[in-house]
């Protein structure tokens, strides 16, 4: 067998190792570099939105707002124009008005007006309100096919917007009777509807007792009427009539009354009535 010299064998081994190292380097050079890890995406920017406001229920109309509406309707009626701005139907109301005020022409009101009077031996005070029957009144006439009954409440002193008593000058004497009523609230009851809430001539009444016997307050009492306006046939909540061009028109608002109450001058509840 042919024997290679030892020096040749060492050179061959060295060349073979160099070749393997070079091949490995070439393979490493051909390997593509790995991409750098992507930077994390920035957090989303919140979109600014308008704050959600609470839904508020419509404010109930009071005495002042109703009297303003009645005045506008009265003026439109006197001018022979429809009251285009009237939009009371469907709105709620809470109307307070004073009665039993010092200096009033009489402590006793007629039908449709709250009143007070002394009980036996002036040991108590009796408050009462008897609605007036307006079912056959001329201002309602012609609607008998729509409503079975109409019970009326007068808005005393319609020239006074405030809910309290009128001011009385010291030493002032009553020289004239009370003015005719020209503003009212008509509690209406449909045919074949529920009879709950109908007074049918019966008064709302409450007796104040105590020891010592009660005295009429210096600021009178308060009548509270609460409910929702409805509409006469034709869609209007207010209707006016007049006896002539020189007479102030009488205007009333149709309503479904669901609460009647007596309060003292400070708003303390004395008694209340609700249908049912």
**Would you state the pLDDT for residue 110?**
81
Structurally, the chain folds into a number of domains equal to: 1
For residue 25, tell me if it sits in a domain: no
**pLDDT tens-digit series, residues 218-254:** 899 999 999 999 999 888 999 999 999 999 999 999 9
For residue 22, tell me if it sits in a domain: no
Q: pTM surpassing 0.85?
A: no
**Would you state the pLDDT for residue 133?**
94
For residue 41, tell me if it sits in a domain: no
**95 contacts 62 by C-beta, under 8 angstroms:** yes
For residue 254, tell me if it sits in a domain: yes
For residue 50, tell me if it sits in a domain: no
63 CB contacts (<8 Å, ≥6 apart)? 95, 96, 97, 155, 161, 162, 163
Angle at 175 between CA 170 and CA 116, to 5 degrees: 75
**Among the listed ranges 21-35, 37-51, 143-157, which one has the minimum average pLDDT value?**
21-35
Percentage of the chain exceeding pLDDT 70: 70
**Would you state the pLDDT for residue 216?**
83
Q: Indicate if the pLDDT at residue 262 is higher than 70.
A: yes
Which is more confidently placed, 36 or 58? 58
For residue 145, tell me if it sits in a domain: yes
Query: Minimal CA–CA distance to 260: which of 226, 222, 221?
Result: 226
Cα separation, 216 vs 119, in Å, equals: 12
For residue 11, tell me if it sits in a domain: no
- Model confidence at 8, pLDDT cuts 50, 70, 90, reads very low
- Model confidence at 35, pLDDT cuts 50, 70, 90, reads low
Percentage of the chain exceeding pLDDT 90: 50
- Model confidence at 97, pLDDT cuts 50, 70, 90, reads very high
**Would you state the pLDDT for residue 199?**
72
**Among the listed ranges 14-18, 63-67, 121-125, which one has the minimum average pLDDT value?**
14-18
Instruction: Name the residue range of residue 125's domain.
Output: 63-165+180-273
**Among the listed ranges 68-82, 144-158, 160-174, which one has the minimum average pLDDT value?**
160-174
**Would you state the pLDDT for residue 11?**
44
**99 contacts 156 by C-beta, under 8 angstroms:** yes
State mean pLDDT over 120-140.
93
- Model confidence at 2, pLDDT cuts 50, 70, 90, reads very low
**Would you state the pLDDT for residue 63?**
96
Which is more confidently placed, 23 or 43? 43
- Model confidence at 24, pLDDT cuts 50, 70, 90, reads very low
Q: How many alpha carbons lie under 13 Å from residue 194 in its C-beta half-sphere?
A: 6
Which is more confidently placed, 84 or 227? 227
Q: Indicate if the pLDDT at residue 25 is higher than 50.
A: no
State mean pLDDT over 204-218.
89
For residue 130, tell me if it sits in a domain: yes
Q: Indicate if the pLDDT at residue 273 is higher than 60.
A: yes
DSSP letter assigned to residue 121: G
Phi, psi of 115 (to 5 degrees): -145, 165
């Amino acid at each position: 067998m042919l024997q290679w010299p030892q020096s040749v064998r060492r050179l061959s081994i060295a060349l073979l190792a160099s070749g393997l190292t070079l091949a490995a380097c070439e393979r490493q050079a051909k390997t593509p570099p790995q991409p750098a890890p992507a930077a994390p995406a920035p957090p989303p920017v919140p979109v600014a939105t308008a704050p959600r406001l609470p839904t508020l229920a419509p404010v109930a109309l009071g005495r002042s707002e109703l009297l303003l509406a009645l005045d506008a309707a009265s003026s439109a009626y006197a001018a022979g124009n429809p009251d285009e701005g009237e939009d009371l139907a469907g709105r709620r109301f809470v109307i307070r008005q004073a009665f039993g005020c010092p200096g009033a022409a009489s402590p006793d009101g007629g039908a449709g007006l709250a009143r007070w009077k002394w009980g036996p031996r002036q040991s108590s005070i009796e408050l009462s309100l008897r609605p007036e029957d307006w079912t056959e009144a001329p201002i309602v006439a012609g609607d008998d096919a729509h409503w079975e009954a109409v019970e009326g409440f007068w808005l005393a002193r319609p020239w006074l917007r405030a809910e309290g008593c009128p001011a009385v000058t010291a030493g002032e004497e009553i020289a004239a009777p009370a003015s005719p009523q020209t503003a009212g609230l008509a509690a209406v009851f449909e045919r074949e509807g529920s009879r709950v809430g109908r007074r049918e001539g019966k008064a709302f009444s409450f007796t104040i007792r105590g020891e010592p016997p009660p005295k009429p307050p210096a600021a009178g009492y308060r009548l509270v009427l609460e409910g929702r306006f409805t509409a006469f046939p034709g869609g209007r909540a207010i209707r006016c009539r007049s006896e002539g061009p020189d007479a102030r028109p009488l205007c009333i608002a149709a309503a479904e009354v669901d609460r009647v109450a007596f309060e003292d001058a400070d708003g303390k509840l004395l008694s209340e009535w609700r249908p049912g």
